[in-house]
Amino acid sequence: MNVLDSQLVTGQLRAMGYRFVDDWRGASVVLYNTCSVREQAENKVYSRLGELGIYKRDHQDVVLGVLGCMAERDGVDMLRRFPQLDILCGPGELDKVPLLIDNAVKTKLGARMDAAESAGGGGGLTAGGRAALQGNKHRRSSTLAAAEDQLELLDLSRSFSPDDYSGSAYVRITRGCNKFCTYCVVPNTRGAEVHRAPDHIIDECKRLVDAGVVEITLLGQTVNHYHYDHGASVTIAGVQQPQVGQAVSGPGRGAGTRLTTFADLLDRIHDEVSGLSRLRFVTSFPRDFGDDILQVMADHPRICRYLHVPAQSGSNRMLELMNRGYTVEQYIDLLDRARAYLPGVEIAGDLICGFPTETHEDHQATCDLLRRAQYKNCFVFKYSPRPGTAAITRFQDDVPDVEKKRRNNELLAIQSGISEQVHSRYVGRTVRVFVESVSHKAAKEADASSGATVTLGWEKPVTQLSGRTDGDLIVVFDGEPSLIGSIVQVRVERSAPLTLFGRLVEQAVIA
Ligand code: SF4
């Protein structure tokens, strides 16, 4: 979600004439788009702000901003702590970033002129802190209110220049979340769940395909909860507004009704955006995953056989404390239904270990679920209390860190064995791969030797490329960089727990 937000803000600024530089030291405006979910990511931002604070002592004209969840959650506290900040802008207000930059620049200019006047023309900038407050006055604090106003225009105004995409793009279909899992700050920082009008989404997909995109990933915090009630839609200045939706309970398509469910949306995109080669979506919430969605996936070959469905725990007691709203049995039922509808589907999961009061038995139940789930990969997180969540006030963080680490390692070891098995099943098969980039390893080696490519018995120089299968398995193979952004066929020759290694087959490019 943050990647898309960054792309939209970048596109907006580029359209207004801003240029982007590789090194922040050469920039007049430095913006950090932030996430509050993990403590580590936040610490990184604090450290960068410290660095920028020192830099700004000699470069006071530089505009420094923090966007996203940290800005929304910490607000004024952050301004107090980091006087070097000029702009704070929450995720529901990103359409205002150009205005905030403009205000900050004008304030700095005004301050410099005042200082120059009072010092007889020789003064410097004296009011960096005040510039920050002036910019911040334009910040609206309610993400819910933002849902019904101009924010939709940020998505609608994205750039469709082919230069901005290397074959793949994100499209937001919902914003915010209503689930209020006790460990999560997202409902407070991104606000209530809001669903975009399906016509806007489909139009955006079509325009992206026209710009050369072959793979689109639909985004939502609980993407399968998408729900648009046409009877309740409101149009302002000719623009159909996003709407704050209620849950769609149980299976059942919206056909014949004035409702567009997630299954309907997938169906429409698949049929109406015929030039799209691959359609994916993340992240799914276990409770809202009806058979209607699985049926549409089964019926539509260009929708990837891949689900990312976080379980978070294998203990019903923990799930209740986390306020997840489903049981382990219901979660397993979803996995079984998915594999029955979609043979060969790959599933990824998330687990949290060391949540308050988690016992050895709770942890063992999570280990059991992990073995049962047979994920292709699983993200395992050690619980850490996050400001702004219910868990930080409701529960004591009582699992010692050393025990969290032990449980974390045990889960990772189990998953590593499963991932190895899942990946090894692909050896000898030919898979469709969307080519994403030069592989990290090859890029590092190229940097070290100051050369971008190597020759490995090909007529043209080749390098190691990295991509993903329809089931989201990472594939590494040798090929020309010009293949990035296309879909190719790769014969898998060997596997590791998280990677397949293969060779391009003839007539490789299929999209
Ligand atoms: S579903 Fe839970 S974990 Fe996911 S964004 Fe919503 S509150 Fe956070």
pLDDT digit string, tens, across residues 216-262: 999 999 999 999 988 766 665 566 666 665 444 444 444 445 899 99
Q: State which ligand 1 atom lies nearest to the alpha carbon of 283.
A: 4
Alpha helices, DSSP H, located in 220-307: 262-272, 291-299
Task: Give me the pLDDT at residue 109, please.
Answer: 65
Q: Which atom of ligand 1 is nearest to the CA of 185?
A: 8
pLDDT at residue 144, as a whole number: 41
Measured in Å, residue 269 CA sits from the centre of ligand 1 at 25
Q: Which of 225, 216, 249, 141 is nearest to 176 (CA)?
A: 225
184 CA to centre of ligand 1 in angstroms: 6
Residue nearest to atom 1 of ligand 1 (CA): 179
Percent of the chain having pLDDT more than 90? 52
Residue 4 has a pLDDT of 82
Question: Domain end: 273, 304, 335, which one?
Answer: 304
What is the C-alpha to C-alpha distance for residues 409 and 160, in angstroms, rounded to an integer? 44
Regarding the beta carbon of 285 and ligand 1, being less than 6 Å apart is answered yes
Number of helical H runs and strand E runs in the chain: 17, 21
Q: Mind listing the pLDDT tens digit for each residue in 309-343?
A: 999 999 999 999 999 999 999 999 999 999 999 99
pLDDT digits (tens, 9 = 90+) for 212-222: 999 999 999 99
Check if 186 has its Cβ closer than 6 Å to any atom of ligand 1.
Answer: yes
Q: pTM (2 decimals)?
A: 0.80
Going by alpha carbons, the residue nearest to atom 4 of ligand 1 is 221
| For range 131-142, the mean pLDDT | 34
Higher pLDDT, 313 or 153: 313
- pLDDT tens digits for range 12-28: 788 788 888 888 888 89
Q: The dihedral of CA 474, 478, 481, 486: what is its sign?
A: negative
* Banded model confidence at residue 116, pLDDT cuts 50, 70, 90: low
What's the pLDDT at 34?
85
* Pocket mutation for ligand 1, best pick of 37, 69, 72, 179 (most atoms within 8 Å of C-beta): 179
- Please tell me the distance between residue 177's alpha carbon and the centre of ligand 1 in angstroms: 6
CA of 159: how far to CAs of 4, 182, 207, 283, 397, in Å? 12, 37, 10, 24, 45
Write down the mean pLDDT value for the chain. 83
pLDDT higher than threshold 50 for residue 121 = no
Nearest CA residue ID for atom 8, ligand 1 = 184
Give the model's pLDDT for residue 136.
32
Q: What is the CATH number of the domain that holds 228?
A: 3.30.750.210
- Boundary of a domain, candidates 83, 107, 141: 141
Per-residue pLDDT band at 74 (split at 50, 70, 90)? confident
356 and 232 inside one domain: no
How far apart CA 375 and CA 382 sit, in angstroms, is 19
pLDDT value of position 457: 45
The answer, yes or no, to whether any atom of ligand 1 lies below 6 A from the CB of 177, is: yes
Specify the ligand 1 atom closest to the Cα of 312.
Answer: 3
Tell me: do 419 and 448 sit in the same domain.
no
Q: Are residues 279 and 157 in the same domain?
A: yes
Same domain? 149 vs 248 = yes
Of 34-38, 200-204, 471-475, minimum mean pLDDT range: 34-38
Residues 225 and 293 in one domain: yes
Q: What is the pLDDT of residue 254?
A: 45
Q: Considering 304, 339, 372, which residue would you say is the last residue of a domain?
A: 304
Mutate to test the pocket of ligand 1, among 1, 2, 35, 177 (most ligand atoms within 8 A of CB): 177
Q: Which residue has the higher pLDDT, 190 or 397?
A: 397
* 164: pLDDT strictly greater than 60: yes
Average pLDDT value for residue range 476-499: 94
379 CA → ligand 1 middle, Å? 15
In this structure, the answer to whether residues 12 and 105 fall within a common structural domain is yes
Q: Number of folded domains in the chain?
A: 4
Residue 441 belongs to domain spanning: 430-509
Q: Is 2 helix (H, G, I), strand (E, B) or coil?
A: helix
Ligand 1 contact via 284 beta carbon (within 6 Å): no
What is the widest separation between alpha-carbon atoms in the chain?
79
